[in-house]
Amino acid sequence: MNIDNTISQMRKGLLEFCILGIIKSEKEAYPSDILERLKTANLVVLEGTIYPLLTRLKNAEILDYQWVESLSGPPRKYYTLTKNGHKFYNNLKSTWADISTSVETLTQ
């Protein structure tokens, strides 16, 4: 068993949940902002891993995006939660609440 591997598996599963959480709290979010928020929260990821995730969530109609003009460069993609996405996120959130309570009790 490799500890790095286990840790990265843990993080990976939670990454999707965290990204949706960030988008929900910001109403709409640009990928680089999401990366910034993850970094400030000390959730270190390889930057490239969030793009396939965002695209898959978009194709699953959990996320949607629109192009927004930017002052400092070309237009940017801003991601928002769809109606489905809100449901999906709430579902994940309550599951997480349950799991974290269980884990907390079991690993004391």
Binding site for another protein (CB under 8 A): 2, 4-5, 8, 11-12, 31-32, 44-49, 51-56, 58-59, 73-77
Residue 86 Cβ vs another protein, minimum distance, rounded to whole Å? 21
Residue 99 Cβ vs another protein, minimum distance, rounded to whole Å? 19
Beta strands in 1-108 (DSSP E): 63-70, 73-81
Query: Closer to another protein at the Cβ: 13 or 105?
Result: 13
At position 32, the amino acid (one-letter code) is S
Rg, Å, the chain Cα set: 15
Query: Closer to another protein at the Cβ: 70 or 100?
Result: 70
Token pair belonging to 86: 């809100």
Q: Return all residues near 32 (Cβ < 8 A) that are at least 6 apart.
A: none
Integer Cα distance of 58 and 40 in angstroms: 25
Query: Closer to another protein at the Cβ: 5 or 108?
Result: 5
Residue 104 Cβ vs another protein, minimum distance, rounded to whole Å? 25
